[in-house]
Amino acid sequence: MALVLVSALPLRAELPAVTFAAKPAHVVLFVIDGLSYKTWEKTDLPTLREMIKSGTLVKQVFLPPPADPHEGAYARLHTCSIPNPILMSGTIFIDEKTVFYNEMFFPQKAAAFVANAIDYRSLLRNYHYVYQKVGSDEEAVNMALEFEKLGQPTFLGMHLQDVGDGGSRSMAERENVPWKNDIWHPQSPYRLNLAKADSLLGEFIKGLAGLGLLESTAVLVVGDHGQADTGWHPVEIWDAAITTAVVWGAGTNSGVVVDYGELIDVGPTICALLGVGPPPTTVGVVFSGALREAATGAAPRPRLQEKMNMGFREFRRTEAAVRSVLESTDSPARGFLSSRLDRIIRSFYGIERFIEWPRFKTVAELVEQNEKALKGLTGLYAQVKPLAEKGK
């Protein structure tokens, strides 16, 4: 079968003129791997900026630190980094019972998934069309358009890998190139691949128009995680746990800017666009103000993921300070204080205990538990700090 070929040539900021339907019949999730929330201040992406004018921009989308365990209980469950099942399910409580939102359409409505990588194979339950192959972003977009031509899926998710790979190159590069440890350098592979992804997005939208599907399609662009300025997504770096999103097309609001959202909100937004309930395991909410039919007067979204991430950072910092004191003191109370530290650590659920998070019923409950542990740790540091002063 013939592919609808696209190129990665620079795209002028011209999208097809179209009058969008009030409700979409199709939704496309366009994932750009490692999309940084700093994109808007650092780059000029004509397609995405044009979409923002007539769509919704969610400036910061928070997620748990993007760990990528390759062994242990999580690795036995998933083949990809932690944010990806969160993105595809709308919950941070990931276990074998988690329902992905494409399963809410299957089998009555067609669903498709495309990625130019094989890392996401654990997410591929209940799709009609699947394409996963190591290759270029261009190849992935070509196949996505072929699926649109072949089956006109109600939901199509695609994950473009090259931008994240470019960030990884900046971090790992051994040669003394100008873009080493700087993803925003004009010549960095991250920046160049991001411009290419933006161009491919524009070509994909033109392809939808050519197939007569654009008027009835909503497009949601988001990263699976953020990106450190020096490259990749180390869990200790704040920027890695923040991405950004654009919601555009049929059923969406025009010219809206939202300051805060969470990765768990992507799934509920897609389900709301298509008029179906989210998976029973979902805990996210619809992006505020993004949809035409959204409820008015809703309370502001609680910034729980931001609070959780701040707690992770503060706990690690305080734990390190307590350990430093205890390792340098010869106080008779050292043993007792060390045991107390161990108990506090066991009561804190950081990203390294992600697979245990489902024991909590709500995100608020998890945040509350960690705040309680952090309060205990802060109190312990106040108790041991004088020991350091005595040792001077």
Q: Where are the domains of the chain?
A: 26-273, 304-390
Q: If pLDDT is split at 50, 70 and 90, which confidence band does 2 have?
A: very low
Tokens of 312: 């992770």
Tokens of 252: 């969406």
Whether 4 shows a pLDDT value over 50: the answer reads: no
Q: If pLDDT is split at 50, 70 and 90, which confidence band does 295 have?
A: low
Q: If pLDDT is split at 50, 70 and 90, which confidence band does 240 have?
A: very high
250-293, pLDDT tens digit by residue? 999 999 999 999 999 999 999 999 999 999 999 999 999 999 97
Whether 297 shows a pLDDT value over 80: the answer reads: no
| DSSP secondary structure letters along 108-121 | TS-EEEEESSSTTG
Mean pLDDT of the chain: 94
Please state, in angstroms and rounded to a whole number, the distance separating the CA atoms of residues 230 and 185.
Answer: 10
Q: If pLDDT is split at 50, 70 and 90, which confidence band does 10 have?
A: very low
Please state, in angstroms and rounded to a whole number, the distance separating the CA atoms of residues 349 and 351.
Answer: 7
Average pLDDT on 211-225 reads: 98
Whether 352 shows a pLDDT value over 50: the answer reads: yes
Whether 105 shows a pLDDT value over 60: the answer reads: yes
pLDDT of residue 13: 56
pLDDT of residue 188: 97
pLDDT of residue 389: 72
Please state, in angstroms and rounded to a whole number, the distance separating the CA atoms of residues 186 and 115.
Answer: 26
CA-derived radius of gyration, the chain:
22
Q: If pLDDT is split at 50, 70 and 90, which confidence band does 5 have?
A: very low
Q: If pLDDT is split at 50, 70 and 90, which confidence band does 350 have?
A: very high
CB hemisphere CA count around 285 (13 angstroms): 17
Whether 86 shows a pLDDT value over 60: the answer reads: yes
Instruction: List, in sequence order, the alpha helices (H) in 43-123.
Output: 46-53, 73-77, 83-89
Nearest to 56 by CA among 244, 263, 260, 290: 290
8 A C-beta contact, residue 15 and residue 50: yes
8 A C-beta contact, residue 301 and residue 285: yes
**Residue found by looking up tokens 């097309």 in the block:** 249
Whether 31 shows a pLDDT value over 50: the answer reads: yes
Whether 392 shows a pLDDT value over 60: the answer reads: no
Distances (CA, A) of 41 to 44, 132, 200: 8, 32, 21
Average pLDDT on 176-189 reads: 96
Please state, in angstroms and rounded to a whole number, the distance separating the CA atoms of residues 351 and 250.
Answer: 37
Q: Please list, residue by residue across 22-60, b when 16 or more beta carbons sit within 10 angstroms of its beta carbon and e when fewer do.
A: eebbbbbbbbbbbbbbbbeeebebbbbebbbeebbbbeb
What's the start-to-end Cα distance of the chain, in Å?
Answer: 76
pLDDT of residue 153: 97
Report the amino acid identity of residue 361: K
Whether 15 shows a pLDDT value over 50: the answer reads: yes
For domain 26-273, the question of CATH label 3.40.720.10 is answered with: yes
pLDDT of residue 299: 75
What is the longest distance spanned by two Cα atoms in the chain? 78
